[in-house]
């Protein structure tokens, strides 16, 4: 059985640069070009051990530089022994896969690293062609990877040297368990394995026994916690005035960029339409949108062309959007751990940020669980009730419009499904006036050095 050793904090004193950690010059240069001046805590803990060839369980809060902690050792090992299909990174969501790929390509551009993203929602054929080019690194969601392992001729991972599970608790927690078991059966036992997660669960411990050899546990945050520079607030309000309070806060904190989390795709869509009708630049991101539209929304928000991103929990894990100033939990998360992931979208990499959680009369118990989990009582966000009440009439009108538009979208979808049985996700884009051209779908191609 695997033994796990805690790695102490004492390294932190000596290692101020990536060079101190043992990272090779060409990769140190890549880090400085990305603006990574000093390693983060998890990188200080994990990178030297990974370079020594140890298996790692990395526990660190979201926004702490976990991607760098596994990408650097993999790229350094790849430099020493160049090989195709060298590393596989498994992630729970498509957006996270694209983001990890961007980091690999940015870090590896000077050494000609090729990576390919294999996720659902994108044409299998074009992915098969990308796999035929034998990239060095594959970043995949488990389900789609299995599809290719079973159906794509000539594709196997028998020579794989590194397996990474990012957000490992979620990969093992959702419905991925059978897929992960299948993947573990077809990759070499003689490999390096890294598990990274913000939260250690029983599932991670179970996998640790199955898949890791004498791993080292690098825990930067032992209890569940949120970043120190994050100011967290709550607002206690009657649920029928939630929309009015949302508009009030967006006005009060105007000039910031917001991520607003809703519990369902439908509510994300409705709230986006509501805010649009009131003149806010809001875009939705949820699981019922096509992959191209999801990337399109994300890229518009990243490029600051839109200041408000409304999302379901599809966007709560791992997404690194540098300039999120405020996270609003419009619908309180049912799982307390999701709260940590959601508010982790702001105050990343040393910046400060705010989070505001809406608590209605139905959410009190869930809110108390969150406070218990993070071990602190949150202060109330100051609001002027009479100012909020002055907004109710305009908000009610916008709600009516939003409901009508949602209904029209539903009918339009149903019609187009009946007529063509074809592309059935003409969601927010049409009514929200977003151009059809999507910039996010195409990937940059690197020149590869042989």
Domain limits, the chain:
18-219, 230-404
43 sits in which H/E element: helix 41-51
Round the average pLDDT of the chain to a whole number and report it. 82
72: its two tokens: 């650097």
Are 184 and 210 in contact by the 8 Å Cβ rule? The answer is: yes
**H-assigned helices in 187-234:** 202-211
Task: State yes or no: pLDDT of 289 exceeds 90.
Answer: no
Asked if the 18-219 domain carries CATH number 3.40.50.1100, the reply is no
Lowest mean pLDDT among 3-7, 197-201, 271-275: 3-7
Q: Which CATH class is domain 230-404?
A: alpha beta
In the chain, what percentage of residues exceed pLDDT 90?
A: 44
Q: Do domains 18-219 and 230-404 have the same CATH topology?
A: yes
CB hemisphere CA count around 193 (13 angstroms): 22
Q: With bands split at pLDDT 50, 70 and 90, how would you rate the model's confidence at 304?
A: confident
What pLDDT was estimated at residue 211?
A: 67
* Confidence (pTM): 0.61
- Residues 331, 267 contacting (CB under 8 angstroms): yes
Please check whether residue 346 is in contact with residue 230, taking contact to mean a CB–CB distance below 8 angstroms. yes
pLDDT at position 268 over 70: yes
Judging by beta carbons within 10 Å of its beta carbon (0-12, 13-18, 19+), is residue 378 exposed, middle or buried?
Answer: middle
């Amino acid at each position: 059985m695997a033994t796990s050793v805690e790695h102490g904090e004492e390294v932190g004193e000596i290692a101020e640069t990536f060079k101190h950690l043992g990272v090779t010059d060409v990769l140190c240069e890549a880090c400085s070009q990305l603006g990574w001046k000093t390693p983060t805590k998890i990188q200080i803990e994990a990178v030297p051990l990974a370079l020594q060839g140890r298996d790692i369980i990395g526990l660190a809060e979201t926004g702490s530089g976990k991607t760098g902690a596994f990408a650097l050792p993999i790229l350094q090992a790849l430099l020493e022994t160049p090989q195709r299909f060298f590393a596989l990174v498994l992630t729970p969501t498509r957006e996270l896969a694209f983001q990890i790929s961007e980091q690999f390509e940015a870090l590896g551009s000077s050494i000609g690293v090729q990576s390919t993203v294999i996720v659902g929602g994108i044409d299998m054929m074009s992915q098969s062609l990308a796999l035929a080019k034998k990239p060095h690194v594959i970043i995949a969601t488990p389900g789609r990877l299995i599809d290719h392992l079973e159906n794509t001729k000539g594709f196997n991972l028998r020579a794989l040297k590194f397996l990474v599970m990012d957000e490992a608790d979620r990969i093992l927690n959702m419905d991925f368990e059978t897929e992960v078991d299948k993947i573990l059966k077809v990759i070499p036992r003689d490999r390096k394995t890294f598990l990274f997660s913000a939260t250690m669960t029983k599932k991670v411990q179970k996998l640790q026994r199955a898949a890791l050899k004498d791993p080292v546990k690098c825990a930067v945050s032992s209890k569940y916690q949120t970043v120190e520079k994050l100011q967290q607030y709550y607002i206690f309000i009657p649920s029928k005035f939630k929309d009015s309070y949302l508009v009030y806060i967006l006005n009060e904190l105007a000039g910031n960029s917001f991520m607003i989390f809703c519990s369902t795709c439908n509510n994300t869509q409705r709230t986006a339409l509501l805010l649009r009708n009131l003149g806010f630049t809001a875009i939705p991101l949820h699981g019922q949108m096509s992959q191209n539209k999801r990337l399109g929304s994300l890229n518009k928000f990243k490029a600051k062309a839109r200041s408000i991103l409304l999302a379901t929990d599809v966007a709560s894990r791992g997404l690194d959007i540098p300039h999120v100033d405020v996270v609003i939990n419009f619908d309180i998360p049912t799982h307390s751990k999701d709260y940590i992931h959601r508010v982790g979208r702001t105050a990343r990499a040393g910046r400060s940020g705010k989070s505001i959680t809406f608590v209605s009369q139905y959410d009190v118990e869930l809110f108390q669980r969150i406070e218990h989990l993070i071990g602190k009582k949150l202060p109330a966000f100051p609001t002027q009730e009479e100012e909020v009440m002055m907004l109710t009439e305009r908000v009610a009108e916008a709600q009516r419009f939003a409901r009508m538009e949602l209904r029209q979208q539903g009918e339009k979808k149903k019609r187009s499904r009946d007529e063509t049985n074809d592309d059935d996700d003409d969601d927010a884009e049409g009514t929200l006036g977003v151009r059809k051209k999507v910039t996010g779908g195409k990937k940059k191609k690197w020149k590869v050095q042989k």
